[in-house]
Chains A and B, each alone.
Chain A
């Protein structure tokens, strides 16, 4: 079955750029979606179809998908961006989630 791999954690200082990756075999053959889950809250989509931002998501959030790796980039990271970030793809009539990356901003 298809698998997505994410780093357990990423740490950046406020104002820096955070890069969160999601890896899978020939991942760029699929659309990747990104979600953030802040403590005590439900997940929320921040990027869909590799690089599109839903309304209300700041422009400093961007996405890319090339080869075996999709990347969520957050420029000018703020403390409010802290949370768990998950990638998701659709494969063989099932949804696959990555294990999640905890973003710490300090």
Chain B
């Protein structure tokens, strides 16, 4: 059974930094691309970032480019999102998802999300 368990969400001041993680199990982690998708309170889905299976290719939404960094540790089956220079508009539930890194790649599985709140 595929499981994705996010952690690390917190209340952070504007301009601060935070790293969220996603522990994966139930599939060959290094064989699949992974993504982060967020959802602000009462809003729709917004793609944040994706990474290929080896970690060599990364993709970012314009809204986070230069501030967020996606990475993965295939030896630990863990996906990360380092978020710097956080803004109030980054407040959202951050989902980890399997896939979403190509033209024929659906978001096959989703975690339950970790909440990030950016406020003073």
Q: A residues bordering B, Cβ < 8 Å? A: 1, 30-31, 33, 35, 37, 42-45, 48-49, 54, 84, 86, 88, 90, 93-100
Within B49-67, the residues touching A (CB, 8 Å) are 50, 59-62
Number of interchain pairs (Cβ within 8 Å): 62
With contacts A86-B44, A94-B47, A94-B59 taken as known, whether A33 is within 8 angstroms of B112 at the C-beta atoms is no
Give how many B residues have a beta carbon under 8 Å from the other chain's beta carbons. 24
Q: Give every chain B residue within 8 A of A31 (Cβ-Cβ).
A: 103-104
**A-contact bits for B102-117, CB 8 A (1 contact / 0 none):** 1111111011110000
B104 and A42 within 8 A (CB): no
Q: B residues bordering A, Cβ < 8 Å? A: 35, 37, 44-47, 50, 59-62, 95, 100, 102-108, 110-113
Chain A nearest Cβ from B61, distance in angstroms:
6
B110 and A90 within 8 A (CB): no
A86 and B45 within 8 A (CB): yes
With contacts A30-B103, A95-B50 taken as known, whether A42 is within 8 angstroms of B45 at the C-beta atoms is no
Residue A33 contacts which of B59, B107, B113 (CB distance < 8 angstroms)?
A: B107
With contacts A93-B59, A95-B35, A95-B50 taken as known, whether A43 is within 8 angstroms of B45 at the C-beta atoms is yes
Give the complex CA separation of A100 and B44 in angstroms. Answer: 6
